[in-house]
């Protein structure tokens, strides 16, 4: 996550909290510049025992990581529970933009939030500060991370990236992305215009996710996004009204890794709905949502955006927001026929609940207001200290 955890460590230390950091590869080490750093170079199978000994030796009372489904992090969660210490997980925000998620125990299917508490809350009236999050910072951080990890891979002989891709494979995928964006940009904009300038809403929207996202591999029963696409088109062809359309929106961060255009076309032909099924990437998602009948997703946070726009929404995996009053609980075959709109009053309370319990006004590749003032103070103190030192 670039320099985020280095900044987070600085913040914790301004609160008089001692921080230890465990690196699994050279990319982890490159972005972190504090003491009490430890390198884990053994196998994944040995990690649980090593971590337990580490926690006991250093008197650790909380473990923090990004994502709860990466192999080492999954083990860390189990060890933390066995030892009775806290386990916190950072993740992309449930509510975007300008929020990131920090949740104890885990996210989505691993969440332990009690939605019964929602009734006591007021409607959401949040006004998050702008975080200046930038995609180019993510891109640069990712490139540097993979290059450094590859150059010094001999120092971590047992490390294997959780996505199962080498640095070269990732590089090739990211090189494909601009070409695919250029090739599909104008056709996608034309498709968006066609869909959103009609007199009435007549299409369902499907928001696709990154193909190897842990939300799919751990929080759904699908083996692959391909299986989800097949099921969706087959069900739509059999149960949806003949006048209705189906639109797949590809995830922009998965553009270089996967292209489902030919798959969607082939399946549409097989199920005899080729003239009713469409696929694109460079389309404005909120605009598509506003003009849709409703949306289907595995468990993307775009489902919450759909609920925000008061659109019927169907979740096919496990998600923290998959609850009655928000998400249509009928089977997919019935959703096409009788999509049920969310309860907006309940949504506003649910949103407030998520913000209070799981969201921080911040960004991984931008500014985090909740810790910015402390970092500024720490920086000012360092400057004052350096100015008072006698030069040698």
DSSP string spanning 197-240?
Answer: SSSS--EEEEE---TT-HHHHTTSS-S-HHHHHHHHHHHHHHHS
Answer whether residue 175 shows pLDDT above 90: no
Q: Domain for residue 55, yes or no?
A: yes
Query: What residues contact 320, with CB distance under 8 A and at least 6 apart?
Result: 94, 107, 108, 111, 113, 354, 358
Q: Domain for residue 247, yes or no?
A: yes
Q: Are residues 275 and 299 located together in one domain of the fold?
A: yes
Answer whether residue 258 shows pLDDT above 50: yes
Answer whether residue 164 shows pLDDT above 80: no
Q: Are residues 238 and 107 located together in one domain of the fold?
A: no
Yes or no: say if 293 and 262 are a contact pair by the CB < 8 Å rule.
Answer: no
Answer whether residue 390 shows pLDDT above 60: no
Tens of pLDDT, residues 39-88: 999 999 999 999 999 999 999 999 999 999 999 999 999 999 999 999 99
Quote the number of domains for the chain: 2
Answer whether residue 392 shows pLDDT above 50: no
Other C-beta atoms closer than 10 Å to the C-beta of 87 total 22
Q: Are residues 120 and 17 located together in one domain of the fold?
A: yes
Q: Are residues 127 and 52 located together in one domain of the fold?
A: yes
Q: Are residues 117 and 239 located together in one domain of the fold?
A: no
Torsion of CA 352, 355, 358, 360, to 10 degrees: -170
Q: Are residues 280 and 340 located together in one domain of the fold?
A: yes
Q: Are residues 242 and 310 located together in one domain of the fold?
A: yes
Tens of pLDDT, residues 1-42: 999 999 999 999 999 999 999 999 999 999 999 999 999 999
Q: Are residues 190 and 151 located together in one domain of the fold?
A: no
Burial of 228 (0-12, 13-18, 19+ CB in 10 A): buried
Q: Domain for residue 175, yes or no?
A: no
Q: Domain for residue 165, yes or no?
A: no
Chain center to CA of 215: 8
Tens of pLDDT, residues 232-251: 999 999 999 999 999 999 99
Range of the domain at 66: 4-159+360-388
Mean pLDDT of 349-353: 89
The pLDDT of residue 166:
67
Cα 86–Cα 122–Cα 129 angle in degrees, nearest 5: 70
3-class DSSP assignment, residue 273:
coil
Tens of pLDDT, residues 206-224: 999 999 888 888 899 999 9
Answer whether residue 310 shows pLDDT above 90: yes
Q: Domain for residue 171, yes or no?
A: no
Q: Are residues 212 and 63 located together in one domain of the fold?
A: no
């Amino acid at each position: 996550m670039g320099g985020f955890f280095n900044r987070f460590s600085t913040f914790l230390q301004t609160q008089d909290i001692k921080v230890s950091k465990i690196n699994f590869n050279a990319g982890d080490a490159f972005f972190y510049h504090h003491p009490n750093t430890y390198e884990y170079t053994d196998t994944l199978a040995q990690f649980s025992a090593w971590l337990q000994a580490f926690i006991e030796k250093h008197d650790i009372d909380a473990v923090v990581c990004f994502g709860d489904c990466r192999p080492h992090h999954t083990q860390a969660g189990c060890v933390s529970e066995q030892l009775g210490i806290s386990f916190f997980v950072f993740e992309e925000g449930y509510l975007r933009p300008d929020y990131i998620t920090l949740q104890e125990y885990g996210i989505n299917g691993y969440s332990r939030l009690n939605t019964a508490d929602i009734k006591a809350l007021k409607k959401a009236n949040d006004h998050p500060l702008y975080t200046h999050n930038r995609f180019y910072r993510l891109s640069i951080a990712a490139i540097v991370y993979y290059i450094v990890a590859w150059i010094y891979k001999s120092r971590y002989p047992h490390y294997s990236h959780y996505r199962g891709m080498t640095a070269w494979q990732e590089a090739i995928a990211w090189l494909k992305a601009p070409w695919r964006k250029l090739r599909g940009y104008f056709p996608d904009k034309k498709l968006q215009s066609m869909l959103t300038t009609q007199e009435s809403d007549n299409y369902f929207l499907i928001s696709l996710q990154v193909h190897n996202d842990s939300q799919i591999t751990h929080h759904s029963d699908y083996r692959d996004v391909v299986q989800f696409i097949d099921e969706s088109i087959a069900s739509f062809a059999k149960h949806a009204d003949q006048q209705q359309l189906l639109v797949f929106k590809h995830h922009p961060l998965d553009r270089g890794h996967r292209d489902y255009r030919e798959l969607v076309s082939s399946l549409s032909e097989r199920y005899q709905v080729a003239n009713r099924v469409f696929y694109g990437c460079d389309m404005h998602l909120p605009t598509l949502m506003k003009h849709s009948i409703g949306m289907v997703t595995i468990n993307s946070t775009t489902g919450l955006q759909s609920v925000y726009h008061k659109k019927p929404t169907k979740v096919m995996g496990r998600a923290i927001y998959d609850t009655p009053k928000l998400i249509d609980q009928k089977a997919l075959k019935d959703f096409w026929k009788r999509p049920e709109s969310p309860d907006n009053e309940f949504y506003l309370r649910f949103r407030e609940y998520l913000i209070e319990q799981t969201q921080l006004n911040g960004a991984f590749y931008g500014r985090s207001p909740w810790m910015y003032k402390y970092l500024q103070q720490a920086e000012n103190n360092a400057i004052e200290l350096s100015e008072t030192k006698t030069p040698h």
